[in-house]
Structure 1
Amino acid sequence: RVLLFQLTAAANDPLFWPIHPIFDKSWHALRLSPQYSAFSLSWKDGEGYGSKFDDSMPFKDLFTDYSASPFNTTETRYSNRQLNDLFAPTSSSLTYVYDQFIEWGVCQWDPLDINSN
């Protein structure tokens, strides 16, 4: 279940670290790619706590430059909606960018190319 990786102990799971950067990079590629612009990015609320779009998560103060964050109060925990916005590839709050989306380990695939499969 996807929810299991949302727990605060997820970083202790040995699968978290190899999967997380791949998921993050592919999520950025998907959100930027014109090929996948028709892909539904809507959030389907689940049953458990933390699975709804507006549930607050156990994260706060993620960004050192609070002026860049639209959610700049130190007392507020982020909701999934806010995290989704903050970690969008076009967000000014993001402190990193991917230099390319073509190399995926030993594989090559360009998700931003509308002619690629």
Structure 2
Amino acid sequence: MTQQIVASTTDLEPEEAKLVELQAADGAMVPVALVRDADGDFHAISDICSHGAVSLSDGEVEGCRVECWLHGSQFDLRTGKPLQLPATRPVPVYPVTVDGDKVLVDIDAPLAAVS
């Protein structure tokens, strides 16, 4: 698979997130948090917190980070790295392209992977 259209640029306000389910090349469905940061830039990260296995798209977005609603772990939207405990492992980050008013994500080419 390649890039998939996931939203319109008007679907999210700054500091807002939503869950999108995308199909990987192997056919698996992948939950992705599509997030718009405070500057209006779009990011795509795994929707599953590496600590508590809950949805990050339900968390609070502040600046260029998202906070897990369950235990308060925070992740950098650009790198997927945890910025606050209890999470210690990063979450995958996927390339985002904005083409006109379309937001596209490529889950088959992660920029960062869980280690």
- Could you state the TM-score of these two structures normalised by the residue count of structure 1? 0.22
**Counting helix residues as a fraction of each chain, which structure ranks higher?**
1
**Counting strand residues as a fraction of each chain, which structure ranks higher?**
2
- Could you state the TM-score of these two structures normalised by the residue count of structure 2? 0.22
